[in-house]
Amino acid sequence: MPTFTSVLLRGLLAGLIAGLLAGAFAHVTGGPRVEAAIAIEEQAVHADPATGDDHHAEELVSREGQRAGLFLATGLFGVAMGGLLSIAYALLRRRLRIRHDAHAALALAGAALLGAVIVPFGKYPANPPAVGNPDTINQRTGSYLAMVILGLVAVWAGALAYRSMRAGAPQWSRCAAAVAGFLATVAVGYRALPSFNEVPANFPAGLLWDFRLASLGTQLVLWAGVGLAFAALLQRGQAKAAGSEPSPEATVPARA
């Protein structure tokens, strides 16, 4: 039986790996879009200095620094998410009714991706520089956090609905109940929380779309990476603990 600390350490390491992978993905796919958006932002500020928010003029951190800081941000964020995932795993493993540890780890990572990323993205998609009114940043941040919590609650509601069906109910009806419980919660959140439409009229739609895809892809890499790395590290630990009795997964002969 692994200790809580060893599971936590595996989660933190998995998060670091996934965070750096997500940083690499973001650097390649999102980097050029951020540059293009900043160029538009600068243009707008220079055209009308009175209204623009020229927060890049101070140059507290150079653009090179910000590009490197991307890896620091995704790395630290990955560590935090990996740690939280491993704690969720430690507390919920038995309740999940999933046979394999690896499947349980991946299911939790998938639930987090759906609830904490995809659901909020549907309501408050990622915005590049030059999009967003600085005056509403507090409302937007609060609403975004509320949506993250609601997304996780929606996933939980789906799981609850799945289990609430009477014994002997056909599988499809359980799945339908899960989807209905999830969607109903999401719909309430989407209706209840305020919308912000702050894309400037002249901001290129193609650039916005590319940036949002890159951002969603970054989170996808992060959560797929953290789930897979955590599952792999858990099984490595198991094989080691079992010693001469490796786990069944470890004894499966590798295909040439």
- C-alpha span between 75 and 221 (Å, rounded): 12
Handedness of CA 147, 152, 158, 164 (dihedral sign): negative
Restricting to residues 185-204, name those near other proteins by CB under 8 A. Answer: none
Cβ atoms within 10 Å, residue 108 = 24
Residue closer to other proteins, measured from CB, 118 or 175: 118
Interface with other proteins (CB under 8 A), residue total 72
Residue closer to other proteins, measured from CB, 68 or 165: 68
DSSP-based three-state secondary structure for 63 = helix
Restricting to residues 208-227, name those near other proteins by CB under 8 A. Answer: 211, 214-216, 218-219, 222
Residue closer to other proteins, measured from CB, 111 or 116: 116
- Closest approach of Cβ 82 to other proteins, in Å? 9
DSSP per residue, 126-195: ---TT-S-GGGHHHHHHHHHHHHHHHHHHHHHHHHHHHHSPTT--HHHHHHHHHHHHHHHHHHHHHHSPP
Residue closer to other proteins, measured from CB, 175 or 224: 224
Residue closer to other proteins, measured from CB, 53 or 175: 53
Restricting to residues 52-91, name those near other proteins by CB under 8 A. Answer: 53, 55, 60-61, 65-67, 69-74, 76-77, 79-81, 83-84, 87, 90-91
- Closest approach of Cβ 115 to other proteins, in Å? 14
Residue closer to other proteins, measured from CB, 175 or 199: 199
Q: Does 30 bind other proteins (CB under 8 A)?
A: yes
Q: Does 236 bind other proteins (CB under 8 A)?
A: no
Restricting to residues 115-154, name those near other proteins by CB under 8 A. Answer: 117, 120-121, 124-129, 132, 134, 137, 140-141, 144-145
- C-alpha span between 213 and 77 (Å, rounded): 19
> What ranges make up the beta strands (E) of the chain?
none
Tell me which residue of 167, 147, 144, 145 sits closest to 155, measured CA to CA. Answer: 147
Pick one of 43, 164, 241, 251: the residue that binds other proteins (CB under 8 A): 241
Cβ atoms within 10 Å, residue 164 = 12
Q: Does 6 bind other proteins (CB under 8 A)?
A: yes
